[in-house]
């Protein structure tokens, strides 16, 4: 089969388990067998699926592909996190990050090529928007990472949709991917260990709350006052903070779950102590945990991180006012894998 023909094939990962193809309607067990190979054993080719009849495997291979990526590159950081650069069938690229911890394996996934949100401090935002990723390209990141790292996909129990893109602007594919992650016949993850990050789109937050999934919602707030927010997050012009906070309240009423507030510490921009006080005011009545993230620099960003001292002061100010807070240092800075750094670099 030519490379061009192979590229044009649909990936099986675009299907949910009940939609997986079977040879004849009588053989519904084949769906389970396929799902086992794809999600439990992490097969990346049909040849690996040795208990399926050869003729059927050949038929599948003529119509579908498994791995949705043309090429996968790995960049290993000193702290053992690994940045993955995936080349898609149309030649575009996207990224994911694998973060091994003592007690868990976490992956940070992308939902888009680039990002339309254009946050001023984010290297992905500076790339602009390429396109939405398909379900196969989102789920495929997990499977490719497991395959390259040499373990079963089901060993990955923590997922954060915080890589490239605003997942809620790729709502349909992000949601169907999450449903495959939590399907017991697929990756069988707990929704409680899946974090979806958003820049703050009130309508989509409400819609997601109505799905009734106990996900972790992470709001990238980054500033408590409209003026600063508009300066660093273009979507703030369209969505006032009040609307976002109302949507968070709706989420909490529906799901009763704590919300993560992401706050990148930008020196001289959003790290004033009056902003810490205003943040406390803004979040009153919500069950939240604030993550202060020192800014991870990238070339020509025009921003610098707040000093360690200022970050501690800001943290203390919040915790003295009983706002749960911690400082989150990003991994993978030496390979451009840290929060806000993803920019398709080759090394
Ligand atoms: Fe997009 Fe998130 Fe970067 Fe903003 S911070 S530009 S939403 S990837």
b/e 70-107 (16+ beta carbons within 10 angstroms → b): eebeebebebebbbbbbebbeebbbbbbbbeeeeebbb
Percent of the chain with pLDDT over 90: 84
Pull the structure tokens for residue 274.
């009056």
Judge whether 99 and 108 are in contact, CB under 8 Å.
yes
Ligand 1 centre from 296 Cα, in Å? 14
Band of residue 299 on the pLDDT scale cut at 50, 70, 90: confident
For ligand 1, say whether the CB of 122 is within 6 Å of any of its atoms: yes
Judge whether 77 and 332 are in contact, CB under 8 Å.
yes
| Atom number of ligand 1 nearest to Cα 123 | 3
State the pTM of this model.
0.95
Tell me the per-residue pLDDT of 76-130, one tens digit each, with 9 for 90 and over.
Answer: 999 999 999 999 999 999 999 999 999 999 999 999 999 999 999 998 989 999 9
Tell me the per-residue pLDDT of 29-57, one tens digit each, with 9 for 90 and over.
Answer: 889 999 999 999 999 999 999 989 899 99
The catalytic residue among 108, 115, 122, 339 is 339
Pull the structure tokens for residue 234.
């273009």
Determine which helix (DSSP H) or strand (DSSP E) holds 98, and give its type and residue range. Answer: strand 93-100
Whole-angstrom Cα distance, residue 183 to residue 153?
A: 13
Judge whether 232 and 120 are in contact, CB under 8 Å.
yes
Counting ligand 1 atoms within 8 A of each CB, the residue from 96, 112, 117, 218 with the most, and so the one to mutate, is 117
For ligand 1, say whether the CB of 108 is within 6 Å of any of its atoms: no
Counting ligand 1 atoms within 8 A of each CB, the residue from 114, 127, 162, 165 with the most, and so the one to mutate, is 165
DSSP secondary structure, 130-188, as one string: EEEPPHHHHHHHHHHHHHHHTS-GGG--EEEE-SSS-GGGGHHHHHHHHHHHH-TTTT-
Ligand 1 centre from 324 Cα, in Å? 24
Q: In what order do the strands lie in the sheet with 82-87?
A: 71-76, 82-87, 93-100, 105-108, 158-161, 194-198, 216-220, 259-265, 288-294, 325-327
Ligand 1 centre from 165 Cα, in Å? 6
For ligand 1, say whether the CB of 163 is within 6 Å of any of its atoms: no
What value does the mean pLDDT take over residues 203-226?
97
Pull the structure tokens for residue 229.
């927010």
Ligand 1 centre from 148 Cα, in Å? 27
For ligand 1, say whether the CB of 12 is within 6 Å of any of its atoms: no
Give the domains, in start order, of the chain with CATH numbers: 3-65 (1.10.150.530), 71-335 (3.20.20.70)
For ligand 1, say whether the CB of 202 is within 6 Å of any of its atoms: no
- Looking at residue 4, what is its pLDDT? 67
Whole-angstrom Cα distance, residue 84 to residue 76?
A: 9
Tell me the per-residue pLDDT of 170-205, one tens digit each, with 9 for 90 and over.
Answer: 999 999 999 999 999 999 999 999 999 999 999 999
DSSP secondary structure, 285-340, as one string: TS-EEEEEEEPPP-TT----BPPHHHHHHHHHHHHHTT--EEE-PPS-GGGT-STT
Pull the structure tokens for residue 191.
């929704």
- Looking at residue 339, what is its pLDDT? 80
For ligand 1, say whether the CB of 175 is within 6 Å of any of its atoms: no
- Looking at residue 44, what is its pLDDT? 92
For ligand 1, say whether the CB of 166 is within 6 Å of any of its atoms: yes
What value does the mean pLDDT take over residues 297-309?
90
| Atom number of ligand 1 nearest to Cα 199 | 7
149 is an active site residue? no
Percentages helix, strand, coil for the chain (3-state, rounded to 5) are 40, 20, 40
If you average pLDDT over every residue of the chain, what do you get?
93
115 is an active site residue? no
């Amino acid at each position: 089969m030519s490379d061009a023909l192979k590229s044009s094939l649909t990936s099986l990962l675009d299907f949910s388990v009940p939609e997986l193809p079977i040879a004849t309607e009588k053989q519904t067990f084949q769906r389970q067998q396929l799902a086992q190979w794809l999600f439990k054993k992490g097969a990346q080719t049909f040849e690996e699926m040795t208990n399926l009849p050869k003729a059927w495997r050949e038929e599948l291979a003529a119509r579908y592909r498994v791995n949705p990526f043309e090429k996968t590159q790995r960049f290993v950081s000193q702290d053992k996190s690994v940045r993955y650069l995936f080349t898609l069938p149309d030649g575009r690229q996207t990224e994911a990050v694998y973060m091994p911890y003592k007690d868990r394996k976490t992956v940070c996934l992308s939902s888009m090529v680039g990002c339309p949100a254009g946050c001023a401090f984010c290297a992905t935002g500076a790339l602009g928007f390429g396109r939405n990723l398909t379900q196969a390209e989102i789920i495929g990141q997990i499977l490719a990472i497991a395959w390259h790292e040499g373990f079963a996909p089901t060993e990955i129990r923590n997922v954060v949709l915080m890589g490239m893109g605003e997942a809620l602007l790729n709502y349909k594919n992000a949601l169907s991917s999450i449903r495959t992650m939590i399907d017991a016949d697929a990756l069988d993850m707990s929704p409680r260990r899946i974090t979806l990050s958003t820049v703050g789109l009130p309508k989509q937050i409400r819609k997601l709350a109505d799905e009734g999934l106990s996900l972790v919602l992470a709001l990238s707030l980054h500033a408590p006052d409209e003026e600063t927010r508009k300066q660093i997050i273009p979507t703030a012009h369209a969505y006032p903070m009040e609307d976002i906070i109302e949507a968070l309240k709706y989420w909490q009423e529906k799901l009763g779950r704590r919300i993560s507030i992401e706050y990148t510490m930008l020196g001289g921009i959003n790290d004033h102590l009056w902003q810490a006080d205003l943040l406390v005011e803004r979040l009153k009545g919500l069950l939240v945990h604030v993550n202060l993230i020192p800014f991870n620099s990238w070339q020509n960003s025009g921003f610098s991180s707040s000093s360690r001292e200022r970050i501690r002061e800001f943290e203390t100010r919040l915790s003295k006012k009983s706002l749960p807070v911690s400082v989150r240092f990003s991994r993978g800075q030496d390979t451009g894998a840290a929060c806000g750094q993803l920019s398709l670099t080759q090394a």
